[in-house]
Amino acid sequence: MRVLLNFEGELAIITLNRPEKLNALDSETRKDFLKAFNEAEERARVAIITGSGKAFAVGADINELILRNPLSSLEAGKLGTELFNRIEESDLVSIAAVNGYALGGGCELAMACDIRIASDKAKFGQPEINLGIIPGAGGTQRLPRIVGLGMAKKLVLTGEVIDANEALRIGLVEDVVPHEKLMEKAKELASKILEKPPLALKFAKKALNASRTMALIDGLKYELSLFSILFSTEDAKEGMRSFLEKRRPEFRGR
């Protein structure tokens, strides 16, 4: 199977499973990934996305790319863009556990996730320029929003591949851990998130995502509206009562 899906309670683990192709994101793999992600949305609140073997994902399969024309490239690019937008906009909190190479579409996939944790063996890059093309599923748009325009230009225009520590330094990932501790760290983070009230998590992600596209004044209004709505929830009352009563809260998503 190209994509594996496992559940541990409300945690979904989605694993790209083409190790012989370094988990290249060809059209069939993207379709299988979307199917797995849809199921994860129905049954889980947090998803860890990772890869099998020595790669997270290395982007499109070059054997498929070389056969494309402008029209087929447009259609394939739409599929990738829609998939990554879906991950970014979903209520499901996504954690990229980057276990190895995250290049091209693989780097774009990681950037679509909410949080990125890297193995100390991970490598990142947008090397499309070396093939005579450019990133086509968010690399020129998400990368500057994450690391800044100048650094994004450096990576995209040179096609440079960087290691995990450099990715941490420029803000492309939030943490770097020893390779053998990667999934342990990702699950630890997922557990912390799963302890939080579901509606507040949903609204927090929406507000944070809005900061990318809204002017500050509009973003502040949107944040305040979501903040105010949460005061109508049982979870908000439970969170405040439990704090005052010095006990562990029991959130129910209501």
Is 89 an active-site residue? no
Query: Measured between alpha carbons, how far is 41 from 90 in angstroms, rounded to an integer?
Result: 8
125 phi and psi angles, rounded to 5 deg = 175, 160
Active site residue 108: yes
Residue-by-residue DSSP string for 216-252: HHHHHHHHHHHHHHGGGSHHHHHHHHHHHTTS-----
Buried b (16+ CB within 10 A) or exposed e, 95-127: bbbbbbbbbbbbbbbbbbbbbbbbbebbbbbbb
Vertex 43: Cα angle to 177 and 175 (nearest 5) = 15
Q: In what order do the strands lie in the sheet with 123-125?
A: 55-57, 101-103, 123-125, 161-163
Which of the following is catalytic: 39, 64, 82, 108? 108
The catalytic position among 88, 128, 238, 245 is 128
- Catalytic sites, residue numbers: 108, 128
